[in-house]
Structure 1
Amino acid sequence: MTPHAPIREAWLALADEPVLDPAQPILDAHHHLWDRTGSRYRTEAFLEDAGCGHDVRASLYVQCRTGYRTSGPESLQPLGEVDTILEWSASAPNHPVGIVAFADLMMGHEVRNTLDALLELAPDRVCGIRNTTAYHPDPAVRSNPQPARDGLLRSEAFRQGAAEVARAGLVLDVWAYQTQLHEIEALARQLPELTIVIDHCGGPLGVGPFRHRTPADFAAWRAGIETLAALPNTRLKIGGFGLAVFGNDYHQQAVPPLSRQLATDWSPWFEVCLEAFGADRCMLESNFPVDKGMFSYVALWNAFKRLTRALSQKERDQLFWKTAASTYRVAFDERTTPHGVS
């Protein structure tokens, strides 16, 4: 059963606002696609959201167990996800322009065979790897229908697999809660040659034992973020504010939140992330359709635009597209209009 707020199109339609700064180019650094029982969000659905008026010229797809192969070696079954995404996006090659795929890093050094197969299948799209690693012992802290078990980030097998990701020239995405940031730190120190992208602001929590969002909880998250930012091989995705584990309850409002409210609510976390990592090591993400149960695509990017108004255009470009493009080494033409999006 999904832990995410359900998407209600009729509810989302109750609030509307004009697109701010429509000429700002955007590379959405993190979204998903799937076709599940009771929930379908393929490329055409993402394009409909991305075509809302913001200049979303490209995007990055991040693994979510979509379309695995049902036969052949288990280690190669995740290649079906890349096959599926390539098929769905055939008419919109910039969406996604890059794929963060899955390969089981607990295979240790043997994962290289899977990495090579992924790169052979889509050398111009596969740019990173992500495993399910977010873990907390409290059942209220849950962000995945199939939660990770404890200890993956600390294991020697995972470290060996992550080393192979670096040798393959790929980036490692890590989604972990604030209570696991020290584990990411240890991995980053062990593998300085590996670029690690920390997803969703480093997982600040607002449920279970963190439901009161105490100053001590915020300070602990901030300390973890600042420690990771001191390591040159780390990057940070700012977003994920619609994840239930963050503790926001926008989906319980009578009408969806507008960007002014979102920007105000997100400001404390946004400011810490930006101050710690800087614009040249931060990138912005939608995390759609996961976050779509909480707010619209228009409001999301308007909120980011409000939060960055005091920055220079150079810094805004870093956040909205340049950091993601350089980190994942994907093409992004700021001079052209997006393919398949009006």
Structure 2
Amino acid sequence: MTTQPPIAPLYVFDETWLAAQQEAILEPERPIIDPHHHLWDHTGRYLFDELLADVQTGHNIRATVFIQCRSMYRADGPEEMRCIGEVEFVNGAAARSASGLYGPSRLCAGIVGHADLTLAARVAPVLDALLAAGNGRLRGIRNSAVWHEDASIRTTPQTPPRGLLLDTKFRDGVRELGQRDLSFDSWMYFTQVHELADLADAFPHTRFVLDHCGGVLGIGVHTGRREADFPYWKAAIADLAKRQNVCVKLGGLAMRSAGFGLHDIPTPLSSSQMAALWKPYVETCIEAFGANRCMFESNFPVDKSGTGYAALWNAFKLIAADYSANEKHALFFETANSVYRLDIEAVS
């Protein structure tokens, strides 16, 4: 029997610590789609009720998109098919929300699952089973590609092989995504972004999503190197943005791996303090990709280790304050609505 891996200690959050972060909600009427969150019950619990509590803290969250996190895999059956359990589980959460009994937000309106794309063409029946399990909600697949030569830099329970996105078998699996109109989400470090650029060139008709501002790092060998690393990160983002089939999620900067130290202080930072820290990264992404290919994300509960849901979205609103009304609508709502084909109305 295969047991599910424990979630890394990087993802632990403290509700008592977060309770000190009380803020009024900025622009509470602004419609938001949160295109990146997880549900799990590993060493910590973050399931439907916990997500709902965060979503209902005051921002106008119209819908959310679940992103794979190896949650609720089947305990038996063929190894390659066990990932279907995750989509079955999340589809149940989505059905609860779709009943309307828990408010107007449509939680898990879109689902990004996992399939081992290194199965190449043999991944086809897995993808078809995932589509069936999603009951019309499956929108894409994510394979984490995070690898670094510094073994101390670890942000996932499993360490993918080096150069995953360049692997021939993996690319044969990506080809199956395009045939089913499924997108590909990629979690990688900024030192690997060139690999996603190469993959996007190979499949120009497939939609690709770069998670978490391209994997900013401030731990391991990157500790204390923020200023030195920034030009290399910026160049990687600018080059990737040349591919029109790629978009980027703006977030993930409250993770420990980003190195901003949000978790090691007596009280949480305010939204204005976080906005000041993150603005150079967010603005660089928007300048490179344009608002229509950028979307703010919560990355909860991972980013909850550094900030609360209400303050996080306040920080994003402060960063976006000087953008036009159309750009703000794209950043907070429409890009996610379009990329994940959600068909969500901005107003009730």
| TM-score bin (small chain) | over 0.9
Contact 2:91 2:135 in 1 (8 A): no
Paired residues of 2:216 and 2:253 also in contact (CA < 8 A): no
Shifted more, 260-269 versus 117-126: the winner is: 117-126
Conserved 8 A contact 1:5-1:294? no
Specify which structure has the bigger relative contact order, considering alpha-carbon pairs within 8 angstroms and separated by 6 or more residues: 1
CA distance in structure 2 between the aligned counterparts of 1:124 and 1:258, rounded to whole angstroms: 39
Contact 1:188 1:234 in 2 (8 A): yes
TM-fit CA distance, 1:2: 1.1
- Mapped to 1, the partners of 2:203 and 2:32 lie a distance apart of 30
Do the aligned residues in 2 keep the contact of 1:196 with 1:235 (CA within 8 Å)? Answer: yes
Report the counterpart of residue 168 of structure 1 in structure 2.
180
Structure 2, gaps ≥5 residues long = 1-6, 99-105
Which residue of 2 is the match for residue 294 of structure 1? 306
Alignment correspondent of 1:312: 324
Structure 1 segments unaligned to the other structure (5+ residues): 337-342
Runs (4+) of structure 1 exceeding 4 A deviation are none
Question: What amino acid maps onto 2:84 in structure 1?
Answer: L
The alpha carbon displacement at 1:205 in A equals 1.1
CA deviation map 1:4-49 (0-9, x unaligned): 152111111112110000000000010000011x311001100100
Contact kept? 2:11, 2:301, Cα under 8 Å:
no
1:195-220 deviations in Å (ceiling 9; x for gaps):
11000001121111211224331111
Taking the TM superposition and a 5 Å limit, the aligned residue runs for 1:44-193 are 44-93=49-98, 94-193=106-205
- SS of 2:140's partner is strand
% identical equivalent positions: 42
> Greater shift after overlay, 168-177 or 248-257?
248-257
Letter in 1 for 2:79: E
Deviation, structure 1 residue 150: 1.3
Alignment of 1:29 with 2:29, yes or no, is no
CA contact (8 A) 2:178 2:205 kept: yes
State the distance in 2 between where 1:214 and 1:246 align: 9
- Secondary structure of 2:283's counterpart equals helix
Query: Which residue is equivalent to 2:102?
Result: none
Deviation at 1:118, TM superposition (A): 1.1
The 8 Å contact of residues 177 and 202 in structure 1, kept in 2 or not, is answered as yes
Q: Is the 8 A contact 1:143 1:243 kept in 2?
A: no
For the Cα contact (< 8 Å) 2:117–2:123, is it kept in 1? Answer: yes
1:115 Cα shift?
Answer: 0.9
Partner of 1:234: 246
Instruction: Name the structure 1 match of 2:101.
Output: none
Displacement, 1:3?
4.1
Alignment partner of 1:10 is 2:16: yes
Number of aligned positions between the proteins: 335
